[in-house]
Amino acid sequence: MFTHPTFDLSTVPEKDRDRVAALIPDPRIAEGYVHRDVMPGVYDFDAFDGAMVLRHNIKLEGPTGSSKTTAFRAYAAERALPLCIVECSANMDPKSVLGRRDIDHATGFPMWIDADHTLVIRYGGVVVYDEVNMAHQRVTAAFHGVTSVSRRLDLQENGEVIRCGHGGTGAPQPVLIGCAINPTTYTGTTRMNQAFRNRFQMPIKWPYLREVEEQLVASTTLLDVADGIRSLAEVQSPTSTNMLIEFERHVTAFGIEAAMALFANHYDDDEVGPIERALEAQSLTIYDEVIGGEAEVDVEPAIGVVTD
C-alpha cells in the first residue's frame, strides 16, 4: 500500500552513530508480534507506513497490556528504524527526554548531550510518547512542536531548533511520531488537551482482541474467563493480555494454585473474590489446556510477545 520506509545509518554523524544504532530494536521482536486490522482492509504496519509517508502523527488508545507500545516496537524492529519510547509521568525529568549540558573532558568546554528522544527526532526513526496524558508540562510543550505541521523541536536548553529527521549529513530520514494512551477513566490519567489531540491525525482504537490473544494464549478457557472478568462491573482493574501470558507461564513453572494466586494479586483487594471464583470454577480445565499445550517456560520471556 505504501513504500516501506528505510533508515540510512550512514547519514548520522560518527559521534552519534553508535548511540543511534543501539536504538534499532532486535529484529526478533517483530517475529513474535501478532498483527491486527486497524482500519477496514488496513493492517497495523500498513497504517504506520502510511503515517510516516503522509507525515501524520498516530495515536493508539486502549487499555493497559493491549500491546500498544509493543506494536511500535515491533514495527521499528521490522523496518530497522531507531526507536525511542518516552515513558511519561508527572514526575518525569525533562533532561532524560531532551538532553543535558556537560563538560567535554578532552577540551574542558561545555557540551550538549542529546537524550535518546532528541537523537531520534534529530536523525530519524520512531518516537512514541507512552501515557502522554500523564506527561510533565515542560516536556509536553516540547511535544507540541514535534507533533505540529512544522515538526520542530525547540531545544531551548541548547539554543537550537531541530527539524525532525533533518539532522544528519545526507537526505532527511523518515520520522514516525506516535503516542499510546489509556482511556481517561484510568487512575492517574488526565484528558488530553484538545489542541494536542488534534495533532494526531490518525487516532486508532486499540482494544483487547480475542483473535490476537488466541495466538498468544494456549487455553481457550482462560480467554473465556478473561472475557467474563472484563465484563464484571465490580472489577475495574484491567485484565491485560500480558497477564494471561504470564498466568500460563506460572502454571507451567509453579502449578495452577500458585498461578491463580499471582494472577489475583494484580487486582485491588475488593476485586479479588470475583477473580478467584472465576478462576477456581475452571482451574482444572485451564490446567489441562496449558499443560496439554506444552506451554514452554524460559528464564527470559519470549522476546516478541511482551505486550504493554
Check if the beta carbon of residue 68 is closer than 8 Å to that of residue 79: no
Question: Residue 197: what pLDDT?
Answer: 76
Question: Residue 138: what pLDDT?
Answer: 64
> Is 50 exceeded by the pLDDT of residue 203?
yes
Q: How many residues does the chain have?
A: 308
Mean per-residue pLDDT, 244-253? 96
Report how far apart the first and last C-alpha atoms of the chain are (Å, whole number). Answer: 27
Element (H, E) at 78: helix 68-79
> Is 90 exceeded by the pLDDT of residue 250?
yes
Question: Residue 271: what pLDDT?
Answer: 96
Q: pLDDT class for 301, splitting at 50, 70, 90?
A: very low
Tens digit of pLDDT for each residue in 140-196? 777 888 999 999 999 988 999 999 999 999 999 999 999 998 875 444 445 566 677
Distance in angstroms (rounded) separating the CA atoms of residues 94 and 115: 10
Average pLDDT of the chain? 88
DSSP class of 299: S
> Is 70 exceeded by the pLDDT of residue 259?
yes
CA pseudo-torsion sign 8, 10, 13, 14: positive
Tens digit of pLDDT for each residue in 83-130? 999 988 777 888 888 999 888 787 888 889 999 999 999 999 999 998
Distance in angstroms (rounded) separating the CA atoms of residues 12 and 6: 14
Q: What share of the chain is helix, strand, coil (3-state, %, to 5)?
A: 45, 15, 40
Question: Residue 110: what pLDDT?
Answer: 86
Residue 132 C-alpha from the chain's centroid: 11
Distance in angstroms (rounded) separating the CA atoms of residues 118 and 129: 13
